[in-house]
Copies of this chain bind each other. A is one copy, B any other.
């Protein structure tokens, strides 16, 4: 498929797809006229890239990790494995943090709702 189709299938802009390629995250074959062509696999790959971005990995880090997706049969470097472990831990910590923040939001909402109830009961405040 060409880049436009990949874009609409993944919901990622054409611009971003070219950027991913520039960063070495996504490969394409080129037609004689220079147009990018992708296999169906690219859809999944783009989704994964987005997922990793959303998890806070930089494109540099994503580039380090993706080879392990492509060819786990090759000798995965210590560095890559370590990087994955490191990112996993960072991600875990981040998730825990977000959960705490969500709890804080919940409590904030509860407090404010409670005050409203009180206000409704005795409108003087």
Contact = CB atoms under 8 A, between A and B. Distances in A.
A72 interface: yes
Given A84-B105, A102-B88, A73 B115 contact: yes
A115 B71 CA distance: 10
Interface stretch (A10-18, A30-38, A51-59): A51-59
A116 B77 CA distance: 10
Within the oligomer, what is the number of copies of this chain?
2
A111 interface: yes
B108 A68 contact: yes
Nearest to A77: B112
Contact of A101 (B52, B81, B105): B52
Contacts of A104: 48, 51
Contacts of A125: 73, 75
A76 interface: yes
Given A55-B101, A95-B98, 8 more contacts: A48-B104, A52-B101, A69-B108, A80-B112, A81-B109, A81-B113, A91-B105, A98-B98
A106 B91 contact: no
